């Protein structure tokens, strides 16, 4: 479907009472921009072979110049795509998710003086992109499309008067009973979805300083699409669409996953794909898989989406010593089939808490995971709805358990994300937590899982092969680089394998599966327990062993037997 036809269809569904003159003008603008962009189309489905590294530029290494200095480190680690957590201009009340200007990067991240020109700022960012691309590293970043900062020029104008042209960019009411079925997302941090401004209230799903945009206004749709186009013209490879389930509000609904919002997403995707085909649009939808798959559409919405429920189930499997929670969550009954070109993105940890929202975990699972992992009172997030702790803290600073966790995530279907610092076992940052409470005025325990990397100390730790950081880093690096060389992990099928003990009893403590794509076939065996024992399976007979991770394989005197040590794992080439 050509651009004019597809955009016209989505427009007519979103704004049936409005003619398409404004749309036609915008389409001509898109055509003109496309002529100025010299980037070649991306390789189709490149994101299926990606290993993502998520970072805050300033916390990782001060600014973009510092990040360029660490690109060799990241390339050596095995990373081939960077996810830059919020970099756009912001008052930084919500770690940059409160955007003040969509076409500007925060000046402190550029390392340039205030007197620098707009073109100098753009060039520095483009130079960073060039340096990353030279190393085979793609770059995506966050763009909050549901809301802005209350300091954004649109909202500053909107507050001036009821007849201001930007007033309708946001949602205003004198009746706080509107949208009463919309849950408070930041429960415990916010008391309402409405904030008073003069004689009116404005609607917000997140913090009160993040007013929600009104996509019922076509000008909002066009201007937000322009924001995507601007960064496409700079050379960015993809976007993480933050808070995508909340875009369309309708009274009498939960204001989540509304069918109408999919026309907004289709509009974005059609424009982005037209200007530079195969640019990544990633859905951040904290929902159950059967809801997230709707954001893939029929291959005409987002290219990828996070598999949020998988993460807590991995933690449940690690705590219970059973692979069943993982098998259950990935079963077709829970995780539906997705379009061929679509992809799940997976993670063990991220910039937020270990989330236990009831939207994708049961009350029973929430209690079990919280009881097993909230090891300190200050790790509690939103009244038991999550745990604010780094991977190393959650797994009690055990290199073996951290390695096992990464083995599971990296070998399951999907594209994996490594959260900065976790590759060497970075711990909770108490100093940063206290500092950010003072700056933000919010006791947000997610600050614990952020914080700066001390590169001088890290380099010393990595030189000591017996240090905790060195042991975690060495194993993570091996896993990442092996994963990158085997397309079966990002593209292949998964077949669950049963293994048995010496008495022919099936072992749920051993998570075993085969990943296969074309001629690439790998058997993954993972001991979730702290016991050492022999396992047997027919799949362990009839082929030569080659552990891709370089681990020692101890076979039995009889064919089909293998010794598993506590928390050990093997990736065996078949």
Question: What are residue 536's DSSP bridge partners?
Answer: 500, 561
Q: How many other C-beta atoms lie within 10 A of the C-beta of residue 474?
A: 16
Give kind and range of the element (H or E) at residue 513: strand 510-517
φ and ψ at 573, to 5 degrees? -75, 125
Mapped onto helix, strand or coil, the DSSP state of residue 100 is coil
Query: Cα dihedral sign for 368, 369, 373, 379?
Result: negative
Instruction: Characterise 221 by phi-psi region: left (phi > 0), alpha (psi -120 to 50), beta (else).
Output: alpha
> Helices marked H in 237-309 — which ranges?
261-275, 289-292
- Cα angle 440-442-446, degrees, rounded to a multiple of 5: 100
Query: β-strand 386-387 against 380-381: which pairing, if any?
Result: antiparallel
φ and ψ at 305, to 5 degrees? -150, 155
Which residues are known to be catalytic? 242, 284
**pLDDT in single tens digits along all 574 residues of the chain:** 699 999 999 999 999 999 999 999 999 999 999 999 989 999 999 999 999 999 999 999 999 999 999 999 999 999 999 999 999 999 998 889 999 999 999 999 999 999 999 999 999 999 999 999 999 999 999 999 999 999 999 999 999 999 999 999 999 999 898 999 999 988 777 889 999 999 999 999 999 999 999 999 999 999 999 999 999 999 999 999 999 999 999 999 999 999 999 999 999 999 999 999 999 999 998 888 999 999 999 999 999 999 999 999 999 999 999 999 999 999 999 999 999 999 999 999 999 999 998 888 999 999 999 999 999 999 999 888 899 999 999 999 999 999 999 999 999 999 999 999 999 999 999 999 999 888 878 788 999 999 999 999 999 999 999 999 999 999 999 999 999 999 999 999 999 999 999 999 999 999 999 999 999 999 999 999 999 999 999 998 866 678 999 999 888 888 889 999 999 999 999 8
Q: Do 242 and 142 meet the contact criterion of CB atoms below 8 Å apart?
A: yes
Alpha carbons within 13 angstroms on the beta-carbon side of residue 290 total: 7
pTM, 2 dp: 0.95
Mapped onto helix, strand or coil, the DSSP state of residue 63 is coil
Which DSSP state fits 467? S
Q: How many other C-beta atoms lie within 10 A of the C-beta of residue 362?
A: 10
Question: What are residue 343's DSSP bridge partners?
Answer: 304
Which DSSP state fits 516? E
Smallest CA-to-CA distance from 199 within 226, 159, 239, 167 is with 159
pLDDT for residue 1: 61
Per the listing, tokens 């539906």 go with 336
Contacts of 546 (CB under 8 A, 6+ apart): 572, 573
**Spatial separation of the C-alpha atoms in residues 444 and 94, rounded to whole Å:** 10
**Spatial separation of the C-alpha atoms in residues 87 and 104, rounded to whole Å:** 9
pLDDT for residue 443: 83
Query: β-strand 493-496 against 200-203: which pairing, if any?
Result: unpaired
**Spatial separation of the C-alpha atoms in residues 302 and 537, rounded to whole Å:** 40
Give helix then strand counts, H and E, for the chain: 20, 22
The tokens for 209 are 């300083």
**Spatial separation of the C-alpha atoms in residues 271 and 27, rounded to whole Å:** 9
Question: What are residue 141's DSSP bridge partners?
Answer: 84, 239
| Domains of the chain, first to last | 492-573 (2.60.40.1180)
> Residues in the chain, how many?
574
pLDDT for residue 543: 63
pLDDT for residue 376: 95
């Amino acid at each position: 479907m050509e651009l004019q036809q597809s955009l016209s269809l989505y427009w007519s569904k979103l704004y049936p009472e409005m003619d398409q003159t404004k749309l036609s003008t915008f389409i001509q603008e898109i055509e003109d921009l496309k002529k100025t962009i010299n980037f070649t189309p991306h390789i189709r489905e490149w994101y299926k072979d990606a290993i993502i590294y998520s970072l805050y530029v300033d916390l990782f290494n001060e600014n973009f110049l510092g990040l360029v200095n660490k690109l060799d480190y990241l390339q050596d680690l095995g990373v081939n795509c960077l996810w830059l957590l919020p970099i756009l201009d912001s008052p930084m009340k919500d770690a940059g998710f409160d955007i003040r200007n969509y076409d500007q990067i925060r000046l402190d991240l550029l390392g340039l003086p205030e007197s620098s020109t707009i073109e100098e700022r753009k060039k520095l960012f483009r130079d960073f992109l060039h340096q990353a691309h030279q190393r085979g590293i793609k770059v995506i970043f966050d763009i909050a499309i549901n809301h802005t900062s209350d300091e954004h020029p649109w909202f500053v104008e909107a507050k001036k008067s009821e007849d201001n042209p930007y007033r309708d960019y946001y949602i205003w009411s004198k009746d706080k009973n509107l949208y009463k079925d919309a849950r408070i997302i930041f429960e415990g941090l916010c008391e309402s979805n409405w904030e008073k401004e003069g004689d009116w209230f404005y609607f917000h799903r997140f913090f009160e300083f993040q007013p929600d945009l009104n996509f019922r206004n076509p000008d909002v749709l066009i201007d937000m699409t322009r924001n995507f186009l601007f960064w496409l013209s700079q050379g960015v490879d993809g976007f993480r669409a933050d808070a995508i389930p909340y875009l369309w509000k309708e009274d009498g609904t939960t204001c989540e996953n509304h069918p109408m919002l999919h026309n907004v997403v289709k509009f974005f995707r059609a424009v982005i794909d037209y200007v530079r085909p195969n640019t990544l649009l990633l859905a951040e939808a904290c929902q159950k898989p059967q809801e997230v798959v709707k954001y893939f559409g029929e291959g005409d919405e987002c290219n990828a989406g996070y598999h949020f429920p998988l993460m807590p189930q991995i933690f449940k499997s690690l705590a219970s010593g059973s692979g069943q929670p993982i098998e259950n969550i990935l079963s077709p009954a829970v995780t539906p089939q997705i379009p061929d070109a679509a992809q799940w993105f997976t993670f063990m940890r991220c910039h937020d808490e270990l989330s236990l929202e009831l939207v994708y975990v049961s009350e029973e699972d929430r209690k079990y995971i919280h009881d097993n992992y909230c090891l300190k009172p200050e790790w509690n997030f939103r009244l038991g709805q999550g745990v604010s702790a780094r991977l190393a803290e959650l797994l009690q600073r055990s290199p073996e358990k951290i390695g096992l966790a990464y083995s599971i995530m990296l070998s399951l279907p999907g594209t994996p994300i490594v959260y900065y610092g976790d590759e060497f076992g970075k711990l909770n940052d108490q100093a940063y937590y206290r500092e950010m409470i003072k700056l933000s005025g919010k006791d947000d325990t997610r600050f614990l899982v952020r914080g700066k990397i001390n590169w001088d100390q890290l380099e010393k730790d990595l030189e000591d092969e017996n240090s905790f950081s060195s042991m975690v880093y060495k194993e993570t690096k091996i896993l990442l680089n092996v994963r990158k060389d085997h397309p079966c992990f990002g593209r292949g099928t998964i077949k669950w394998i049963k293994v048995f003990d010496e008495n022919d009893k099936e072992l749920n403590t051993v998570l075993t599966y085969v990943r296969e794509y074309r001629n690439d076939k790998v058997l993954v065996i993972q001991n979730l327990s702290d016991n050492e024992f022999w396992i047997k399976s027919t799949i362990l007979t009839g082929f030569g062993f080659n552990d891709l991770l370089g681990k020692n394989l101890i076979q039995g005197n009889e064919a089909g037997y293998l010794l598993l040590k506590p928390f050990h794992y093997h990736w065996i080439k078949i």
